[in-house]
Structure 1
Amino acid sequence: MSVFSSARFPLALMAAAALTACGGGDDTTTTTPTATTQSVSIDFAATIGSSVLNIGKCADTQVNGIATRGGAAVNAKLTDLRFYVSNVKLLKADGTAVAVTLDESTWQANAGTDSVALIDFEDGTCTNGGATGGTNTKITGNVASGTYVGVSFVLGVPESLNHVNPALSTTPKPIDASVPGMAWSWQAGRKFMKIELSPENATTAGTYTGGVQIITAAGAQATTTTAGVTTNVANTNAFVYHLGNTGCVADAAATATGGYTCSANNQVPVTIAAFNPTSQRVTMDLQALFAGNNATQNTTGTAAGCMSAADDPQCPAMFTALTGAKSGGTVFRAIAK
């Protein structure tokens, strides 16, 4: 339970001093003040604009207005939504950032100077890969006592942990083999964020397969089947957004990063300057993330959706939206509990 109070939740540092006199002398003994900590709990949510999603069983994961077809909002099934949050810090009014030490659990771990937690909105009932079978929408830990007004974190897994072998017994949860759906084997690391959508079919309401059109690089409709939609059954006609480092290759000299180097570091620093964990939670707004894109279309010859490739036409708008999170964009923001 958080012990923050008031809009700026001030807490005084505890200090103790003992003064003793012996035989009328002037000698004194001073006890060094003991640093204290306070617990912190940060809740996460998922929203479509101002609407908070009630993530539950797969049958309940219809979302409205997330994708666009021809400029009009359409419905979709949200079959997976998970992301890693690392190196959480609370912010003081003067901008000082103080690290949060996470409670060790199935969902979060500390490793040296880095820490990582998995926020997981899927419960294993959808057709996503490597489901965990549980959900986690909260980060808990301790921070040095003080007055804090905001929060920062990194969307992604630190490079010191990103390439650690998930099969090793020393690899901590939540980046071990118990979360296979977040392993990105072809890039020798982890998926920092995994979102999978199945948009509603343009001609058949309530049907969430056949909802992704295949288009050419110029935007023209490619040669497909009925009503110009793809029949890519292997991907259930989903728009897949997997964020992670790319261009990762083995590099024996890169000992600090598990023997790999990556040409594109796609970790995203997030800052929310005004945040009170007692009364607020952090939301990921899917509408803001997908703004500027069209989750009902995919360019022929490219990955289904966006796999973090800079030359994939479906990716630039996604990266632009996330880049705004560094300076208070709307993809991640504070909302009331």
Structure 2
Amino acid sequence: MLNIIRTTRGVALGAALLTVAACEDDPVEPAMPIDVTLDFAAVVDEAAFSCGNSYDNVGTSNTTITPVDFRFYVHDVELIAADGSSVELELTQDGTWQRENVVLLDFENGSGPCVNGTAAMNTTVRGTAPDATYTGVRFTLGVPEELNHADQTTAAAPLDLTSLFWSWNGGYKFLRIDHTSDAQPEGWFVHLGSTGCTPTGDPTVPATSCSNEHRPTFEFLDFDLGIDEIVADYGALLANSDLAQNSGAKGCMSFPGDPECAVVMNAFGLAYEGSQPSGQSFFSIR
């Protein structure tokens, strides 16, 4: 599912001036790649996310929630030029947050109720791209299939976290955002990941395919790379959810047959058991 959000602004990035040759006959050196940083932010109904904070009037039940986790993976980040062409962002291989074409965005700091997290945080995607004018960005939420069913116990960062892994067969939790409330003191979770993975029956056997990949792609065609940030809004994701009720798993964990999953999956821009999205509400820019 390709989700397109159209905005009305765009600005050139890069266009660094080439050094003027002293002689017209001197060869012109090719332009050096430019450094690119994409800033991400986590909010709950536009209020900044922070471990230990509570947020009122979330969902159709106007529930006060206390988030306890906020992390997700993205991959295949691309920059889009004004003419519609695109280039892959060459990620900085930092060995902690970015490896190959995958980045972990981590907005919790392990404090207070976020005890399942880590102290370190990461809110940016960093890399290089050819010097050009870019006015858009595209990325996919999740871990790519070729990395999704590896052995997490031997995987390198950022794919080494047990709290973001289901099993060799199921793969990774692409996104984990959890909260508690008076109505759901044991937690209400949003865990996005692939389901229907085969072969089944043994969680230690890597899958060869998954019927529900659950990897939405997001595209912003009018994006100022020097100013804008990409905002993940948990409140917007849960706007149509009744957080006072839960009749399946605790919240939505992506598996079939969960009554709470239809509106959550649709908010990611994903179809779910016949329920079709009209768009997505999780990511926006500001």
Shared fold per TM-score greater than 0.5: yes
Take 2:156 and 2:38, find their aligned partners in 1: how far apart are those partners?
A: 21
- 2:158 aligned partner, one-letter code: P
Please name the residue that 1:172 is paired with. 156
Q: Does 1:123 align with 2:109?
A: yes
How far is 1:48 from its partner?
2.9
The change in CA–CA distance for 1:31 and 1:172 in structure 2 (over 3 A counts) is farther
Please name the residue that 2:60 is paired with. 68
Contact 1:119/1:137, CA 8 A, preserved across alignment: yes
The change in CA–CA distance for 1:93 and 1:309 in structure 2 (over 3 A counts) is same
Post-superposition CA distance 1:136-195 (Å, at most 9, x none): 111111111100111110000001111121222xx331012xx21101127531000001
Take 1:187 and 1:133, find their aligned partners in 2: how far apart are those partners?
A: 29
Query: Percent identity among equivalent residues?
Result: 32
Taking structure 2 as the reference length, what is the TM-score of the superposition? 0.83
Take 1:273 and 1:304, find their aligned partners in 2: how far apart are those partners?
A: 36
Take 1:9 and 1:116, find their aligned partners in 2: how far apart are those partners?
A: 25
- Note the aligned Cα RMSD (angstroms): 2.8
SS at match of 1:68: coil
**Which is richer in helix?**
1
Gaps of 5+ in 1: 1-5, 21-27, 202-210, 213-235, 252-257
The change in CA–CA distance for 1:83 and 1:10 in structure 2 (over 3 A counts) is closer
How far is 1:260 from its partner?
2.6
Q: Does 1:8 align with 2:11?
A: yes
Contact 1:187/1:247, CA 8 A, preserved across alignment: no
Take 1:330 and 1:303, find their aligned partners in 2: how far apart are those partners?
A: 23
Contact 1:86/1:154, CA 8 A, preserved across alignment: yes
Q: Which has the higher contact order (CA 8 A, sep 6+)?
A: 2
Contact 1:284/1:331, CA 8 A, preserved across alignment: yes
Gaps of 5+ in 2: 1-8, 201-205, 271-276
Q: How does 1:107-118 map to 2 (within 5 A)?
A: 107-110=97-100, 115-118=101-104
Take 2:278 and 2:102, find their aligned partners in 1: how far apart are those partners?
A: 21
Taking structure 1 as the reference length, what is the TM-score of the superposition? 0.71
Contact 2:70/2:178, CA 8 A, preserved across alignment: yes
Post-superposition CA distance 1:42-67 (Å, at most 9, x none): 11112233x33142xx43x2122223
Take 1:12 and 1:121, find their aligned partners in 2: how far apart are those partners?
A: 32
Please name the residue that 2:5 is paired with. none
How far is 1:261 from its partner?
1.5
Higher radius of gyration, 1 or 2? 1
Q: Does 1:100 align with 2:89?
A: yes
Q: Does 1:39 align with 2:69?
A: no
The change in CA–CA distance for 1:18 and 1:259 in structure 2 (over 3 A counts) is farther
Post-superposition CA distance 1:178-233 (Å, at most 9, x none): x211011275310000011112x2xxxxxxxxx13xxxxxxxxxxxxxxxxxxxxx
Alignment length (residue pairs): 266
Please name the residue that 1:23 is paired with. none
Q: How does 1:167-316 map to 2 (within 5 A)?
A: 167-168=153-154, 171-176=155-160, 179-185=161-167, 187-199=169-181, 201=182, 211-212=183-184, 236-250=185-199, 260-299=208-247, 302-316=248-262
Please name the residue that 2:78 is paired with. 89
Take 1:129 and 1:247, find their aligned partners in 2: how far apart are those partners?
A: 30
